[in-house]
Structure 1
Amino acid sequence: MTTNYSFNFLASARRTINLEKDAVAQLEQRLTDDFTRACDMILTCTGRVVVTGMGKSGHIGNKIAATLASTGTPAFFVHPGEASHGDMGMIQPDDVVIALSNSGESSEVTSLLPLFKRLGSKLISMTGKPESTLGLAADAHLNTGVDQEACPLNLAPTSSTTCALVMGDALAVALLEARGFTAEDFAFSHPGGSLGRRLLLKVEDIMHAGDQIPVVGPDAPLAEALLVVTSKGLGMTTVQQDGSLLGIFTDGDLRRAIDNGVDIHSATMADVMTAGGKSTTPGTLAAEALKNMEDNKINALVVKENDKAVGVITMHDMLRAGVI
């Protein structure tokens, strides 16, 4: 095999993308009531969804199982070859099996059909040939057939595997919506990494509370307030009287006071604070509090509960917690 260095790689890429795009566009026309039947089978399943497939179909099936599991449908992948050598024990009568094979005739998969029937497990097939052995054996068949593979030899699974993946996504999303799956539910499946932190962390998990909250009274001189701001290291202080929040004082308020010609030697907090100020609550998601800061172009929020200041959260806290 020789390499043709004058080959037009971009033209080849465009051809592949267009062929696969057309194949996916035709996928919608192949949807039937079997798709609804498949969704109903999974929604009423008291066991789990078991996905199986050989070769490239197996790789796609593995991804479909992972997507289902992360969107509220308990699912896992079983290799059909391993199933014939002990892993059938992982499949139970209450499970629903999704079997992938573009031809519908993969021997490693079709050899398991009598076992699925004997167990009584429901079977959803995903093939390109409804009249195949696998297609006819299924309780619901999802047609992922393509007119042409993107491979110029029409041999390597390309368009067909893309369509199978898209059909799997369609199944997972339909089930997600039917279950009323929420962003918080999704986060529980993804507790690690930035996604979990953004969706699970609440303000109360990372806020400064108790003695960490900077506090001055409305009659406190500006110089005193600056000492509190510096000692607490949050770039701001709350202004409170008898436990009630009156406002906040930040670096921005100091700059505005100077710009407005305020006598910084005689000014009190009542003269220069921002009355009220932006706030959040302990139970608010940290990601939501971050959006509040970004929308208002501020670096800190007072955390209020029953009109009392119970904490302070800053942009630095968001950064340390990995919310940003």
Structure 2
Amino acid sequence: MHRGYYIEVIKWLRVFSKKNPLDLTRKEALDIRRLSRTNDKVSIEIVLDELINMGILAQRIDHQFEVLFLTALGKEWVVALANSGELLTNQKKHIANYFLAQLLKKNHILDFFQLFQFDINGNFFIKKIILNDQEAKTARELVDFEILSSCNESYVLDKNLLDKVLNVINASGISEEKLCEKLEKLRKIGLDGEQWVVQFEKHRLEDKYPGCESRVERVSEKNVALGYDVHSIAPSLEERFIEVKTCSTNKITFYLSNNEIKKSEKYGNSYWLYILVGKQESKDPKDFYRIQNPARFLKEKNVTLQPVLFEVTFDDGMLK
């Protein structure tokens, strides 16, 4: 799509590419542009308006007519086009910046970029494998305008655009309605993850002890305060208390409650952490990890636990 768009920009520049550029009414400009073949996939009027928004063209009202003319930047583009016959890299970047600014006003684009993360080289990227169909389509459109680049298994944001994206993300905040939608989506994915683990455990036990699927139960359905989600017990009396952590992206970040850590310490090797990575609703996870005795594991691996919530208790009279 971007090639067709760039061609349309070039054709519009040529409409205004006289040695002494004429001021044209909107109707005159459109009539001249329509003399050459158009790209059905790109609206000539939309591109015209976007060139105005990009600062390539300007407009004024003259005797009740909308008059269009090249800005100083537009004149530079016309000269460059005459010399090269195509858009230069910096001009394409100008277009990309414009489109990115427009796209970042849309909630689904913000949600998309919030899935990105940094690698050790400072690249802001997202794994292709975790994208749903709509997100993959968005990524391909951004690649078209060179906002993203496609690198093997990932999409990477152009570093020149990084600050703009981060500034918008940091300033965007989140409404109560949007937060509720996000939490509901996470709740559904978490529930789906627990159900996936139940089926996994049933298959695991059936391989050793056929007919024992009734020994696996999603206990969080009845009591969310137990400190684990799934209880599994084999005929050999091998018992597992399983806490399920479902990550919707490929980034392994989750929350452990104080209760879950205490239950891990209490049950020791019978307590398991099942981590589902890149899990989307009704789909298998991209990766799956099982950690036995996570309390011990976290200590041995020196995993950082970051407190994000504090309980505050006031003694009688402290607030008087």
Q: TM-score, normalised by structure 1?
A: 0.29
Q: Which has the higher contact order (CA 8 A, sep 6+)?
A: 1
Structure label with greater radius of gyration: 1
